[in-house]
Amino acid sequence: MTKRLIQASITGFEGEPRTVYSLYDLDTGLLVVNKEVAFREDRFGGCVIVSNAELPAREALFTVDHFPEAIEAFFELSRGKQIHIEDKASRSNPTHCIQDDGLSTNGGRTYRINPNTLNCQVAVMATCWYVKRSRTLNKVVNMADRLLEIQRGGILSV
């Protein structure tokens, strides 16, 4: 069972800067949002740091340009029942701060966030964005491993 600890530290939105801790299970695809705390710049334990701030230990930079993908990632996880927000982080649930903004030019839905969106809610969206990106990266790495195995004479079963 492969698990990844994620620390999303966000500032610049409504309220005090906040950090949200989550646990992502790569095998099951379940994201558990555990806890919301005061903004933390330093790494806690073995967490991967996602932030919109200039932190020296940050692995992923979340910007406003990532909101469309982050919102879609949150909805994907929600629809698939692959996100669980613990009571200690319930204020971080971004469900009510995401607003439908109509249709895009290609016919898909567009969304925007409410101007009163809290830093902790953005932290959850940033976490979902990171999870979606890491899923894609894991798929690419797994495919490359399979191709290398075939190249070395392994058997491909369909």
Residue 144 resides in a domain: yes
- Residue closest to 75 by CA, chosen among 155, 11, 132: 132
Tell me, letter by letter, the H, E, C secondary structure of 87-152: HHHHHHCCHHHEEEEEECCCCCEEEEECCCCEHHHHHHHHHHHHHHHHHHHHHHHHHHHHHHHHHC
Predicted pLDDT at 150: 66
Model confidence at 64: pLDDT above 60 = yes
Evaluate whether residue 130 is within a structural domain.
yes
Residue 122 scores a pLDDT above 70: yes
Query: What's the whole-number mean pLDDT along residues 116-127?
Result: 98
The answer to whether residue 157 sits within a structural domain is: no
- Mean confidence (pLDDT) of the chain: 90
Residue corresponding to tokens 């990106």 = 133
User: How many domains are contained in the chain?
Assistant: 1
Predicted pLDDT of residue 16: 97
> How sure is the predictor about 145, in pLDDT bands with cuts at 50, 70 and 90?
low
Q: Give a yes or no: residue 84 inside a domain.
A: yes
Q: How far is CA 96 from the centre of its chain?
A: 17
Label residues 44-57 b or e (16+ Cβ within 10 Å = b).
eeebbbbbbeebee
> Which CATH number characterizes residue 125's domain?
3.30.420
In a domain, 64, yes or no: yes
* 79 inside domain: yes
Residue 107 lies in a domain: yes
pLDDT at residue 138, rounded to an integer: 57
Domain residues for the domain of 134 are: 3-151
Rounded distance, CA 122 to CA 10, Å? Answer: 7
Instruction: Indicate whether 68 pLDDT > 70.
Output: yes
The model's pTM is 0.85
Cα 73 to Cα 67: distance, rounded to the nearest angstrom:
10
With respect to residue 158, please indicate whether it lies within any of the assigned structural domains: no
Q: What amino acid is encoded at 77 in this protein?
A: L
CA distance 36 to 20: 4
What are the CA-CA distances from residue 134 to residues 15, 26, 101, 140 (Å)? 29, 9, 27, 10
